[in-house]
Chains A and B, each alone.
Chain A
Amino acid sequence: MADSDDYASLDHVEMTVRELLTEMKDTSEVIVDLAYAALMYNSEDMAEKVNELEKEMDDLKFAIRFKVLMSSRTKEDAKQLSGLLQVASAADKISDSAADIVDLLDLPLERRPFVSAMLYESDEKIRTTRIRPESSIIGYTIGKLGIEASTGCRIIALKNRQGWIYDPEDDVKIRAGDDIIVRGTEDGYKQLVEYATGRKPWEFPEISEDDEVTPQEEAASINDAEEEDG
């Protein structure tokens, strides 16, 4: 039996397995984007954030192993939970690779001349834009706007008056003059720029995130709305 001291020595052990896995999956996605962005923009700060996230990922990995092993009671449990642990390991492996990628920053810039130009041509673009004072997204949080859902662009970093925030949470507010680094398709990026410059007003998703609705209900209500429009 683990006594309370042993238990407390593990970080994140208060989180549920579900929360841990969600966190690991999300981190595994954003960390790779951040790593490439660090190379593209030759940013030590971003690289540091990547290393921080990678260490965090190690802690999450131990916490999830611990919790999963504690909860396994039967052969069937063990079978299904082994799949879950495999996913967690994969997410961790991705973050290790991201950390390896930013290690390339240790080389002087002239030794890696082609990397920035190459990454600029990626299918999924990493791009920057500035929020203009005329933009209608000012004053709203990233979560309220649902920027990723509407434009397919994920904000991987944001610079405001306080400095850089990497992998900003949903409760971060967009302010005039903020610089954001996003990752998404060319199309989505163009849409986002329209909103950021105020050339187009933001369209809020019809369903508020606070409402408890199933995806099916959501889909149905959106279909209804479309029929009314037509």
Chain B
Amino acid sequence: MNGLEEMLLELKDTSEFMVDLAYSSLIYDNEEIAQEVIFLADTMEELSARIQDTVIEIGMNKPEEIARIVVATRLQTSIMSIAEAAKSIADVVLRGLGKHPVIAMSIKESETTISLAKVTDDSVLCGKTFGEARLSTQCGMFVIAVKRNREYIFGPGKTMMIEAGDILIAKGPEDGVSCFKDLADGTDKELSF
């Protein structure tokens, strides 16, 4: 894949992540998660501007690529509008309007939930790779992203090392959440294999 496609893909993946996070912020009426959505919306704006520059560049130099440009631009517009929708959901939480019990109840009916957990110094996960930690086997939670120093790493690979201070964002059944949080904050020191 070349630059344009890579950027578009990142835009797409981020937009879906934003929707997941936005709905989660509603379930827990959690401003911190809602803030993450807003933060991601800003990174989306930057990325979107870069995509536009690239597309213009391609268009000026290679007019034969016009079909690629049209498709990329149309996809970009749709993706950005999904991101805006996610932002407007997070906005509900930030305005304090997400407290109606029906909201949390409706959103919670789905099978999976998103959970965030910060890895502490004394966590058993610290210094292990995702392959070694096997969080999906341990707790049924699938790590979809890691936040490290304000940077998001989506879809961390098996060989990626977990460090203290990492915020792990995982998707899974509600009953996997406590297991996941306990391992991350050092409450549970045993990995059962």
Interface residues of A (CB under 8 A from B): 17-19, 21-22, 25-26, 28-29, 32, 36, 79-84, 86-87, 89-91, 93-94, 96-98, 100-101, 103-104, 107, 110-115, 117-119, 121-124, 146, 148-150, 152, 184-188, 191, 205, 207, 215, 218-219, 222-223, 226, 229-230
Asked if A222 meets B175 with Cβ closer than 8 Å, knowing A152-B112, A185-B155, the reply is yes
**Interface members, chain B 163-186 (any A CB < 8 Å):** 171-175, 177-179
Contact-residue bracket for chain B: 35 or more
Interface readout for B79-113 with A: 1 if CB under 8 Å, 0 if not? Answer: 10110111011011001011110110111011110
Asked if A101 meets B78 with Cβ closer than 8 Å, knowing A21-B102, A152-B142, the reply is yes
Q: Are B82 and A97 in contact (CB under 8 A)?
A: yes
Q: Are A25 and B5 in contact (CB under 8 A)?
A: no
Q: Of B16, B97, B105, B192, which one neighbours A32 at CB under 8 angstroms?
A: B16
**Contact of B59 with A by CB under 8 A:** no
Q: Chain B CB within 10 Å — which of A89, A114, A117 has the most?
A: A114
Q: Of A29, A84, A94, A218, which one neighbours B102 at CB under 8 angstroms?
A: A84
Asked if A86 meets B136 with Cβ closer than 8 Å, knowing A115-B71, A122-B13, A187-B142, the reply is no
Interface residues of B (CB under 8 A from A): 1, 5, 8-9, 12-13, 16-17, 19, 22-23, 26, 67-68, 70-71, 74-75, 77-79, 81-82, 84-86, 88-89, 91-92, 95, 97-100, 102-103, 105-107, 109-112, 136, 140, 142, 144, 154-155, 171-175, 177-179, 190, 192
Does more than half of chain A's interface fall in helix, strand or loop, or is it mixed?
Answer: helix
For residue B13, which residues in chain A have a CB less than 8 angstroms away from its CB? 122-124
For residue B88, which residues in chain A have a CB less than 8 angstroms away from its CB? 86, 89-90, 93
For residue B171, which residues in chain A have a CB less than 8 angstroms away from its CB? 152, 185
- Compute how far the CA of A79 lies from the CA of B103 in the bound complex, rounded to whole angstroms: 13
- Compute how far the CA of A69 lies from the CA of B123 in the bound complex, rounded to whole angstroms: 49
